[in-house]
């Protein structure tokens, strides 16, 4: 993901899965802005920064 200067890998897969699950579970709406906020928060938990 360009946002974190990462190439495809484990961290990207984890973040994508977390976003998908959050949308499916109704935790966040299926909107780009909300998904971006969610990814940034979850990436912080993995030690990633923008």
What pLDDT was estimated at residue 7?
85
Q: Is the pLDDT of residue 5 over 90?
A: no
The pLDDT of residue 8: 86
What is the reported pLDDT for 6? Answer: 83
**What would the pLDDT profile of 14-41 be if each residue is shown by its tens digit?**
999 999 999 999 999 999 999 999 999 9
| pTM more than 0.75 | yes
pLDDT at 50 over 90: no
Q: How far is residue 20's CA from residue 17's CA, in Å, rounded to a whole number?
A: 5
Please tell me the distance from the alpha carbon of residue 24 to that of residue 38, in angstroms, as a whole number: 14
What is the sign, positive or negative, of the torsion defined by CA atoms of 26, 28, 29, 35?
negative
DSSP letters for 8-49: SSHHHHHHHHHHHHHHHTTSS-S-HHHHHHHHHHHHHHTT--
DSSP state of 5: T
């Amino acid at each position: 993901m360009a946002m974190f200067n990462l190439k495809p890998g484990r961290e990207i897969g984890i973040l994508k899965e977390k976003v998908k699950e959050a949308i499916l579970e109704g935790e966040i709406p299926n909107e780009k802005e909300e998904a971006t906020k969610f990814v940034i928060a979850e990436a912080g938990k993995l030690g990633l920064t923008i």
